[in-house]
Structure 1
Amino acid sequence: MKNNIELKNGFIIFLGIGLFFLLMDLFGLAGKNYLRLLNAFIVLYGINRTLKHNYNHGHTEYLENLISGLKTGIIGVVLGIIGLIAFIYAKGGDSYLTTLSDTFFFLGKTNIIKYCSVLLFEGIASSLIGSFTLMQYWKDVVIHPKY
């Protein structure tokens, strides 16, 4: 049952990040690096939904919830990377990638594998930090289970 909520919230993260970046691209804001930081709030939202669900259903063990939040974030990140690869190829492949890497933190010539690998590791690290940070809040919250 818990895996279903992790998948659901991971998919919500994927949809949120996908819509956010599509809107940024549509409005010509893809070059604004500071706006890219807002995707962290989308990831935190999905992880928080998982943790809240777990606590509301009586699952209060710290490590179990930390791993559950991490899995939620990783599912969202992996789906997001797959979506990014499809988007890059749909927009022209390597020629579009050069415009992305100019606006991101990459130096020199890169390829899709390197670009997406770096984003994958960054996303996993962000999910771990976000899960840990949210668990610092949730470990002290007293929830009276509804079920």
Structure 2
Amino acid sequence: MKVKKEIKNGYFIFISIGTYFLLMEFLGLSNVFYLRLLNVFFVLYAVNDTLKSRVKNGNTSFLHNIKAALTTSLVGVTLSILGLLIYSYMRGGDAYIHNLSESFLFGGHPSINMYCFSLFFEGIASSVIVTLLLVLYYNDKFAAD
């Protein structure tokens, strides 16, 4: 059975973001807030690859391409959050999350579940934004329904 391009690119997002954050932690840069924002480029690349592939194969339905782009980014976000959840428990649980949340925009002392839950919704919001930006960028290649 052939794995869909959307799922492959979702896994690419997961592997890329995971490797990027592990590298940042290894280099001691995990507390630099602005470097955390660069993960959007992995999502942009993967969603763009999905849309380019679909346009190249003649899939020009606007709604189907939105669905494919959202699937790509949401698979990546979901796997990344699950990876963060597992990694956080491996690194010490709430103490590790407390260190992460000090350099992030959280108030108080969030638990691992609250931290991952809020990052999941942030990921969904950024997935929708990236999807809309790229679908509108490719707008002239899509057939209007």
Q: Do they fold alike, i.e. is TM over 0.5?
A: yes
Structure 2 segments unaligned to the other structure (5+ residues): none
Matched letter for residue 15 of structure 1: I
Partner of 1:65: 65
1:94-132 Cα offsets, whole Å, 9 max, x none, are 111110111111010110111001100000110110010
Structure 1 segments unaligned to the other structure (5+ residues): 143-147
- What SS is found at the alignment partner of 1:38? helix
4+ runs deviating over 2 angstroms: none
Counterparts of residues 30-109 of structure 1 (less than 5 Å):
30-109=30-109
1:34-56 Cα offsets, whole Å, 9 max, x none, are 11110001111111111111111
- What SS is found at the alignment partner of 1:110? coil
Contact 2:60/2:141 (8 A) holds in 1: no
Partner of 2:21: 21
RMSD of the TM alignment (CA)?
1.6
CA displacement at 1:141 relative to structure 2: 4.2
Paired residues, what number?
Answer: 142
Matched letter for residue 117 of structure 2: S
Query: Compared with structure 1, are the counterparts of its residues 122 and 3 closer, same or farther at alpha carbon in structure 2 (3 Å cutoff)?
Result: farther
TM-score (norm 2): 0.93
Alpha-carbon distance between aligned partners in 2 of 1:3 and 1:114, rounded to the nearest angstrom: 33
Query: Compared with structure 1, are the counterparts of its residues 2 and 56 closer, same or farther at alpha carbon in structure 2 (3 Å cutoff)?
Result: farther
